[in-house]
Amino acid sequence: MPPMYSLITGASRGIGEAFARTLASEGHSLILIARDLQALTALQQSLTAQWGVKVVVIDIDLRDPNATRIIYERTQKEGWDVDLLINNAGFGRFGEFDSHPVDDYVAMVQLNVTAPMVLSHYFLRAMRERGQGAIIHVASMAAFQPTPYMTVYGATKGFLRAFSEGLAGELRDSDVRILTVCPGLTDTHFFIAAGADLTKTLDAAPKMLTPDVVVKESLDALRRGTMTVVPGLKNRIVAFLSSAIPHRIGVPLAARILGRQFKDQPHQR
């Protein structure tokens, strides 16, 4: 029988790479997606050599609205059946809303919102027909409340969480599982890419988790059939409080904490 594949977006580093390494160690065949072909190829060679699993890579920019269709058509043409889809790729921008070009936000919505929704639509039907499969959405703790100074990012993750949990509800009696992962601070390239100085901004936040811990808690949650997981006990407490505190209190508080690093800077456009 041909192998079933786990397809991971944003697999070239960080949390996506950790998913790839863990799943390869468990014998899964992989489709790895990101823009950095060199990093993807190095990971492919390392996983194939270490675990003897089949690994294919697709270097593509998911900010391109055609990318999801190109990925799906490639899997159909090659006969790569996907039974685990991990919508992980994403990026954020720190700063005042109007200090970044609007095109950045349009691209963020495409990558963080549209691409996961479209890929889920493409791959879900075959999973239902086979009576087997799972989709993991990597959202964020930013999905639990509005996030001043990373407003669009938080809104994209709020959408992703609502979409993913809604889908889990629709599929509650099916054999397809949907897991929403809401990581807190995790030690990856994310904050460098987002232009954030964490020493000024989030020094009160819990210590960063490693991508390996996020992935382990996520895969454990998937196997338990959990709908949503916040990796790390301290993060779970913060997520609970974020959900419980009324926005009229929580939003100004978040603005004070997240705005620290911008208060001495002149407004830039």
Ligand X SMILES: NC(=O)c1ccc[n+]([C@@H]2O[C@H](COP(=O)([O-])OP(=O)(O)OC[C@H]3O[C@@H](n4cnc5c(N)ncnc54)[C@H](OP(=O)(O)O)[C@@H]3O)[C@@H](O)[C@H]2O)c1
Which candidate, 40, 144, 156, places its Cα nearest to that of 91? 156
Instruction: For residue 118, state whether it binds ligand X (rule: CB under 6 A).
Output: no
What is the closest distance, in whole angstroms, from the C-beta atom of residue 248 to ligand X in the complex?
25
12 or 180: whose CB is closer to ligand X? 12
75 or 188: whose CB is closer to ligand X? 188
| 179 touches 137 (CB < 8 A) | yes
What is the closest distance, in whole angstroms, from the C-beta atom of residue 131 to ligand X in the complex?
29
Residue 160 has which token pair?
Answer: 């992703």
Residue 265 has which token pair?
Answer: 């800077």
Residue 161 has which token pair?
Answer: 């969480």
Instruction: For residue 138, state whether it binds ligand X (rule: CB under 6 A).
Output: yes
What is the closest distance, in whole angstroms, from the C-beta atom of residue 158 to ligand X in the complex?
12
Q: Pattern 54-83, binding to ligand X, x per CB under 6 A?
A: -------xxx--------------------
DSSP 60: -
What is the closest distance, in whole angstroms, from the C-beta atom of residue 212 to ligand X in the complex?
12
Residue for token pair 């807190």? 184
Residue 221 and residue 226: Cα distance in Å, rounded? Answer: 5
Instruction: For residue 89, state whether it binds ligand X (rule: CB under 6 A).
Output: yes
SS3 breakdown of the chain: % helix, strand, coil, rounded to 5? 55, 15, 30
Instruction: For residue 190, state whether it binds ligand X (rule: CB under 6 A).
Output: yes
User: Edge to edge, what strands does the sheet with 176-181 contain?
Assistant: 55-59, 29-34, 4-9, 81-87, 133-138, 176-181, 228-229
**Which of 154, 183, 231, 232: binder of ligand X (CB under 6 A)?**
183
Binders of ligand X among residues 206 to 245 (CB under 6 A) are: none
Which residues contact ligand X by CB under 6 A?
10-16, 34-36, 39, 61-63, 88-91, 111, 138, 140, 183, 185-186, 188-190, 193
